[in-house]
Structures are given as structure tokens and as C-alpha cells.
Amino acid sequence: MMAYATQMEAARLGIVTPEMEIAAGDEHISAEQLRALIAEGQAVIPKNKRHQIGHPKAIGRMLSTKINVNLGASRDCCNIDVELAKVQEAERLGADAIMDLSTFGDTRAFRRTLAAQCKAALGSVPIYDALVYYNKELAEITSDEWLEIARIHAEDGFDFMTIHCGMNQATAARFMRNRNRITNIVSRGGSLMFAWMQMTGKENPFFEQFDELLEICRKYDVTLSLGDACRPGSTHDASDATQVEEMITLGELTKRAWARDVQVIIEGPGHMPLNQIASNMKLQQTLCHGAPYYVLGPLVTDIAPGYDHITSAIGGTVAAANGAAFLCYVTPAEHLRLPNEQDVHDGIIAAKIAAHAADLAKNIPHASDWDDEMSKARQEVDWEKMFSLSIDPEKARKIHDENPSEIKDACTMCGEMCAMRNMNKILNGEVVTAK
């Protein structure tokens, strides 16, 4: 068999890899169809060569919508056992990817634990980790050290890395000229790189030494997630010139990555009014040449702290139905604190609902099978089957059992007036009574 460095190189050589076979089976398409999409950059399989136990998943707008879960320790909440419990919950609920955003503690040991235990695709943001790893002031980190931290994350087996390559001096200058945003730069990694450039006067090393970054990604087959440092952090700031200019730069970097057979996904908003989401997805497809789009939400309103898993699910559904391939979950704790295990649970369920609703809208093969089975179970008033088919079986059962009906084939909403129950009876030739 011909040697290949990355899934994209294999695809371009006409090789169907074992990872493509597995991922294509999940999508109910042929491995050859998936190979063609990967060759064109329209789909990716994030699978670091050193992440031995992962289950390969394909990400692309014409495939089923995938979801990512963010977690990780911070200075104020640094219990690794708690973070590992969140990881286990995420995998139990079927998260497609897990991103470690840790900013405190022995971050490398935690990454290696994740790589050894997790089957989901693993992602990280090396910029965060640089301050922890080097343990020095932001302005003292050198250009070479920024590249080295990316290399370390690749060596640790992480499948995709979000790196804010588009936050260059030109983008920063545009931001400074047009200071009409309410929320400035809300990307944590983007703000750190902006601050580093402002303090040192140097160019973003990930932009300036992009070819070296690509060699790191190519060596380990790390999918490069081009971070949107200028994503809107409020509905007011959505779709402004700073966001669009960075997107143009990300499109240019995408072509350079593809020239080295490096897989790419593009990060997107953020916060965005509902009426702008569809057009933003189309704009990204044009400017970034159809590379898979990875969105945080978008959150469609800014006034719902405690309920941002809902504002995110609304925006995520519209985004995915219009071309986004990958949804980053948002929890009820967004903007408030580090999420706990229940927050993680609620955020995952909301994101999965959004992803599935979008798959129905996109007519993804067999997406409607699940809904059809649930509808049949409802028509048959088969409670156990309804519970098992629920996206959150434990919650569905709990709510039902809190106030059960005396009538076996009904619930306390309708009782003997249950349409399902009465139609079953009358169509079977039985008498329907009001008692």
C-alpha cells in the first residue's frame, strides 16, 4: 500500500483508509463517497496518529451534524476527578468530540489521560496552555515557544487543535481603527494573541510561521481548527468588517493547508441574530471554500444567562441546517461559571437536539428513522419503548413517573381522552367511553 501522511493525502491518492471505512459506515454512505469529500477538503476525519483508541468520526456539512463538548480545569476549579467525570458523561451521551480547555494544573498529564481513555475526537487550544506550561508572563513567551506548545499538543495525541492564525497584525489594525464593538475581542485565545502582539510589536507566530505549523499538523495528522479570534461576542457585533476580514484570511490559510494535505475546519460565531445566521453560513462556505464550519452556538440573544444552552440550540439548529458541520455545545453555566456535571449533561442534550433537528432538515440518510420509531411507540402507547428512544431516557422516565395516570395506556395530560389510546380502540373495533 502507498504511504500517506494524512487522511487528506490518502484521499487524494485514491486510498480508502480504515478510518474512512468506519466513519462512512456511521454516515450510511460509501467509503468512496467519503474519500472524495475528504480529498476536496469538504469533510475531515480528526484522527491523530498517536490517538490509538479513538472512534473515527467524519465532519462535513453534507454529513450528520457532530457536537463538541468543552471542559477542563481552571485555577478556581481544579479538581481533575470532576473533569474526568464530565468526560465520562460526555462519552456516555454520545459526544463526538471533547475539547480540553484547561488553564491550570498539570495540563499535560490530563491530556495524556484523555488520549489514553477517550474514544471521542480530542481537541485543544495550545495558546491557553502556553501560559501554564511556560509559567511566565504573556509578553515573555517567544515566537518559537508558541510553535513548540502546538507541537507538544500534537505529540500528546490530540486530534484537532484550535489555533488563532487569522489574528495577525492586519486584523488587529482593522480592529483598532474600527472600535465600534460592544464586546471587543471575546475569544480567549484571540485576545491573548492580540495582547501579545500589542505588547511585543511582533507578528502572530502562527501566521508568520504557518508553514512550520502545517508541518507539525502533517506529521501527526492533526486537523487544524482555524480559530476565529474576532468572532462576535454579542448580537450587536455580528457580521462586522473585523469578523469578515478575518474570515477572508482564514480562507487563504485554508488553501495553504490543503496544499500540504492538512485537514482544516473553520471556527465561526459566537453570538448572532437569527436572521443573519443562514447568510453567514453561506458566506463562510464561499470565503473558506467549503471547509467544514465549526460554530459556538450561535447564541441568538444576549439576555439569557442560565439558559444559554437554549439560545445556543436555537442558533445551532439554523446554522447546521444551512451548512455548519460541527456544533460546540453551550451549557446553562455559559457566561457565569465553569460548568458542573449537570450543566455538561444539559448542554450536550441541547446540542444533540439541535444537531438532530438540522439533520432532519438536511435529509441526512436515516436521520428520520429515530423519529419514526418514536412516533410508532407513541401511537402504540408503549411507554418503555418511548423511554428507550428518548434523547434523555432518564429524564423522560422521571417526568412520567412523577405523576402517573391510573389509566395504563395514557398519561395525566389527557387520561381517558388520550387520542392515541382512543384511536387504537376504535380502529380495533372496541368501544370508546368517556370513563
Q: Which residues participate in the annotated binding site for substrate?
A: 70, 99, 128, 164, 187-189, 228-231, 267, 294
193: which 3 cell numbers?
Answer: 494573541
Helix (H, G, I), strand (E, B) or coil at 385: helix
How far is Cα 11 from Cα 34, in angstroms, rounded to an integer? 9
Spatial contact of 207 and 165, defined as CB atoms under 8 Å apart: yes
H/E stretch holding 268 reads: strand 264-268
Question: What single string gives the DSSP state of each residue in 203-237?
Answer: PPHHHHTHHHHHHHHHHHT-EEEE--TT--SSGGG
How far is Cα 192 from Cα 79, in angstroms, rounded to an integer? 25
H/E stretch holding 348 reads: helix 341-361
Tell me the binding residues for [4Fe-4S] cluster. 411, 414, 418
Burial of residue 52 (number of CB atoms within 10 Å: 0-12, 13-18, 19+): exposed
Question: How many CB atoms lie under 10 A from the CB of residue 39?
Answer: 20
Query: Residue 330: what residue type?
Result: V
Tell me the binding residues for Zn(2+). 271, 335
Q: Calculate the dihedral angle through the C-alpha atoms of 233, 238, 243, 244, rounding to the nearest 10 degrees.
A: 160
Tell me the binding residues. 70, 99, 128, 164, 187-189, 228-231, 267, 271, 294, 335, 411, 414, 418
CB within 8 Å of 195: residues ≥ 6 apart: 138
Full 3-state SS string of 269-324: CCECCHHHHHHHHHHHHHHCCCCCEEEECCECCCCCCCCHHHHHHHHHHHHHHCCC
197: which 3 cell numbers?
Answer: 502582539
DSSP code for 202:
P
